[in-house]
Amino acid sequence: MTKPFLKIEHVDKSFSRGAMTNEVLKDVSLDVAEGEFISIIGHSGCGKSTLLNIVAGLTKATKGVVFLQDKVVDEPGPDRAVVFQNHSLLPWLTCYENVALAVDKVFGRSKTKAERHDWTMHKLKLVHMEHAKDRRPAEISGGMKQRIGIARALAMQPKVLLLDEPFGALDALTRTHLQDQVMQIQAELKNTVLMITHDVDEAVLLSDRIVMMTNGPSARIGEVLDVPLARPRNRLELVSDRAYIAARAAVLKFLYERHRFVEAA
Ligand SMILES: Nc1ncnc2c1ncn2[C@@H]1O[C@H](COP(=O)(O)OP(=O)(O)OP(=O)(O)O)[C@@H](O)[C@H]1O
């Protein structure tokens, strides 16, 4: 691999409460190339969100470092945009204003007002939401809210897009549409993406590599699977593709045979 764009180096994370310490992550290291789409999959509670939050700069690692283009990540910044499972739009602003707010914050000095407007509209078009630009979050569906959240994240032109189960709260059909849109956007913008998912098919469909985490406590990266499928990818054609079936089976085997989830007693 060429020099990593994003580097997670020997990260440990423990949470302490009084005398109790919960070691969530143990020695997690990962190199991500520019433009790569990585999914992180693992059973509930293993520490996926904790890892994403460390990359976002929202949580501090107990040990280890994250580098983005050789710069240590130690606080949140516009170079790392996060999209959460439940949208975090401002309810009193329209869809346009929610995206424009981020654009003004990041490009207030470097782009003119007209350029910022065009930029905002371009991102709304990318997620096919320009028709609803004047509606408020309460007036649109859950899938539409997520699309605005994605538009807002893309509008910041982040170096890394961090997606924490972005489609987790959506129905299966909406989810399918959004996955296809994310693939199209990725083809156009070539973002570097780190996405948490519980959905094996979603991971295989979207990713260049799938990072599989062992169960916690002290979760670590158990395996990293390359997904050798050409792009653009078509979900219907992939159903009978041998490489797709093999990748899917490898992830399922990891999750349900080798690292089966055992509910704490
Ligand atoms: N701020 C915090 N303080 C204390 N413990 C925390 C904190 N954040 C996370 N944890 C603990 O860290 C562990 C991992 O949580 P995390 O949310 O990262 O898991 P996850 O893999 O993303 O789970 P899920 O798939 O269910 O969303 C859990 O035991 C959780 O209780």
Q: What residues does each domain of the chain span?
A: 80-157
User: Is 214 a pocket residue for ligand 1 (Cβ < 6 Å)?
Assistant: no
CB within 8 Å of 206: residues ≥ 6 apart: 37, 39, 179, 182, 183, 186, 195
- Give the atom of ligand 1 at the shortest distance from the alpha carbon of 53: 18
User: Is 15 a pocket residue for ligand 1 (Cβ < 6 Å)?
Assistant: yes
- Give the atom of ligand 1 at the shortest distance from the alpha carbon of 198: 25
Give the residue whose CA is nearest to atom 9 of ligand 1: 50
Give the residue whose CA is nearest to atom 4 of ligand 1: 15
- Ordered per-residue pLDDT tens for the chain, 265 residues: 567 999 999 999 999 999 899 999 999 999 999 999 999 999 999 999 999 999 999 999 999 999 999 999 999 999 999 998 887 899 999 999 999 999 999 999 999 999 999 999 999 998 999 999 999 999 999 999 999 999 999 999 999 999 999 988 888 888 898 899 899 888 988 999 999 999 999 999 999 999 999 998 999 999 999 999 999 999 999 999 999 999 999 999 999 987 777 665 3
Burial of 156 (0-12, 13-18, 19+ CB in 10 A): buried
